[in-house]
Amino acid sequence: MIRLLCLVLFFAASSPLVVSADTSLPPLKGQVLFLGDSITHDGRYITFIETYLRENAKVGEPLPALVNLGLPSETLSGQSEPDHPFPRPDVHERLERALEKVKPDLVIACYGMNDGIYHPFSEKRFAAYQDGVKRLIEKVKASGAKLVLMSPPPFDPQPMREAGKLLPESDDANYSWKTIYEDYDEKVIARYAKWIMDQAGRDGVSGTVDLHTPLNDYVAVQRGKEPTFAMSKDGVHVDEVGHRILAEVMLDAWSLVDLDEAFEVNPATYTLVAKRQKVLHDAWLSHVGHKRPGTKAGLPLGEAQAQAAAIDQQLQAQ
């Protein structure tokens, strides 16, 4: 059912956002593993979700462990544009290790933005993306965990158009994350997102969440008020407002928010949760291992968990 969601967080009030809830999603309990690219690596939407869960948990109710293994530049199709400074990491290189080490009850995966490699639509690239998703489904199912697929969020061409970094479709164009196909969202990412949503009900998929439509709708509403509005400098990496909306959409999908009432997030709680998420995220990335160069190593997992436990005490003392 389409409903109106207006979520107010501590730093900004949102405009009304139309989304739909899927009450069939498995609960956010136990070990919850987030997989994705640089948007998940940034992780602010996960911090918003954890903050909300902490502030609304019932007395004595255990909190889920939200483990963020998002990795910048990653795909699940094993593809890279020619001008990328290194081969893009493929989640399948580390997926089995991640499942073995985290032992998740639930996996939430969000891929697609990098899988089109910023080129015009290609059936070959799309097939590689579909195959990567299917292999993800099979491996998560074999691990015993449940899987929720999130569609890729949209690419906003406006910032790159203003910077002169969009290219029209051409056989000679040198497309990359720095010079992007001008219709990348409409003709590539939107198609990938629709296909992800069509996986609902597939064996091994416990649910899907549409991130693409509500973020595009939000930008359209804001741009109607302010033509230069944008949530991203490069069309890909959304700012804090964008992460708030990602969290908002997910919380709605899990029916964890009262759609008739706004809720607030305590800024002190959010700051501590962000610190906790950061130290654990870096440690888990190093603990599982990956092949992306230039990624700062995290603390040994045991040390990171000790720091997280100390932050937990500060959160409980609030």
Question: Rounded to 5 degrees, what angle do the CA atoms 131, 288, 99 make?
Answer: 55
**CB neighbours of 121 closer than 8 A, spacing ≥ 6?**
187, 188, 191
pLDDT of the residue at 13: 38
Round to whole Å and give the CA distance between 244 and 269.
15
Q: Can you say whether residue 239 is alpha, beta or left, with left for phi > 0 and alpha for psi between -120 and 50 degrees? A: beta
- Cα 20 to chain centroid distance, Å, stands at 18
* Model pLDDT, residue 263: 55
Q: CA-CA distances (angstroms) from residue 24 to 11, 119, 167, 204?
A: 31, 35, 41, 14
Is 11 within 8 Å of 214 (Cβ atoms)?
no
CA distance 109 to 51: 20
- Burial environment of residue 174 by CB neighbours within 10 A (0 to 12, 13 to 18, 19 or more): exposed
pLDDT along the chain (318 residues), means of 10: 34 38 78 98 96 89 95 97 96 98 98 98 98 98 98 98 96 95 98 98 96 95 95 96 91 76 79 98 98 96 98 91
pLDDT for the residue numbered 173: 95
Strands 8-9 and 12-13 turn out to be antiparallel
Q: b/e string for 270-293 if b means 16 or more Cβ within 10 A? A: bebbbebbbbbbbbbbbbbebebe
β-pairing verdict for 17-20 and 65-68: unpaired
Token duo for residue 42: 């940034």
As beta bridge partners, residue 110 has 36, 150
Q: How far apart are CA 204 and CA 35, in angstroms?
A: 16
List Cα–Cα distances, 89 to 93, 114, 145, 174, 222, in angstroms: 8, 10, 23, 21, 35
The gap between the terminal CA atoms of the chain, to the nearest Å, is 37
pTM of the model: 0.92
